[in-house]
Structure 1
Amino acid sequence: MKKPIFFLSVLLVIASLGCSKSEDADVNNPNLPGPDAGIPDDPERVDYVLSTSNGSGVTGLASFIPNDDGSTTIYIDLENASQGIHPATVNFGTLESGGAIAITLNECECEISETVVTQLDNGTPVTFVELMTFDGHLNIYESPTDGTTIAQTNIGANSF
């Protein structure tokens, strides 16, 4: 229970400091300063590299972090995105085949998003282990009114 409160506290501190991001932040080294310092150095964490889509130039990293209560924190850190709001979803299927939305994530605000996941949008429970074998992909969109995909990656079973 402490991890979700900790992550929420870190997210609130980041949001209160504005949308500035340290160019030197390193998501794989939580000891460096920057908004990514809240990600624990957990060997069970799985990182997916977000690739640019539709010529947007936006890239980033999506980290799936197991929590003690069985939930999963999905932490997204975008690079080269506008400072606007960017919706994010986990979809069924591969990038190539596409698929319906499985999980609606919190929007990326100031290039950062953090969502604690316990179930799919349809109410089906999902654990960290199940997400590691999930037949899906992750999409980041231009804005709430523009559904153009700007970054994406295969996840789970599709990432191999």
Structure 2
Amino acid sequence: MKRSLSFLMLAFALVLSGCNKDDVAEAVILKSVQYQIYDVSNSGVSGTATFTQEDNGSTHVLIELVGGYTATNPAFIRFNSAAEGGNVAITLHTCECAISNTTITQLDNGNTITYEGLLALNGHVTIHANSSNNSSILAVADIGANSN
């Protein structure tokens, strides 16, 4: 009995020491830029969009909304400035509980885009009221070449 208990304890210790939460290497952040998201038509939704260059060649886009805590809001990067409007360049993950996390390596059309390409893009971010990309726009942020 004592031997079985010792064996079980040794096996348990080996299992615990073999588990590592960091089995997947995390990307290293190289650069980051933040854009202010402004409400449209007094929607009460605003926030920030942070673009982060990662060492694996991807760009991580984090959207954090204020005033959109219970809604599910689709988010997109569109061509042109917010004032001009434009077609969807990149479909971002939907903002759920005011947060969206998307890793980007290409446009929706399949063309590759880098962090530098996003910073130079003639584009803007739109946050929408519901699941349709044609629904009313609650908030916008000019990005890239339009952010000045």
* Residues 59-114 of structure 1: per-residue CA shift (max 9 Å, x gap): 10000001111100000000011412100000000011111000000000000000
Q: For residues 100 and 2 of structure 1, what CA distance do their matches in structure 2 show?
A: 35
Where in structure 2 are the equivalents of 1:35-114 lying within 5 Å? 44-114=31-101
Distance in 2 of aligned mates of 1:3 and 1:73: 12
Is residue 121 from structure 1 mapped to residue 108 from structure 2 by the alignment?
A: yes
Question: Which residue of 135, 138, 147 corresponds with 1:150?
Answer: 138
Contact 1:137/1:153 (8 A) holds in 2: yes
Count residues with an aligned counterpart.
124
2:26 and 2:41 mapped to 1: Cα distance? 35
The structure with the larger Rg is 2
Query: Runs of at least 4 residues of structure 1 off by over 3 A?
Result: none
AA aligned to 1:93 is N
Q: TM-score, normalised by structure 2?
A: 0.79
Indicate the RMSD between aligned Cα atoms, in angstroms. 1.7
| 1:132 Cα deviation from its structure 2 partner | 0.5
Q: Is this contact kept in 2: 1:3–1:67, CA < 8 A?
A: no
Specify which of 13, 26, 40 is matched with residue 3 of structure 1: 26
Structure 1 residue aligned with 2:9 = none
Flag the structure with higher strand content: 2
Give TM-score, length-normalised by structure 1.
0.73
Identity %: 37
In 2, the alpha carbon distance for the partners of 1:95 and 1:84 equals: 22
Cα distance in 1, alignment partners of residues 46 and 89 from structure 2: 22
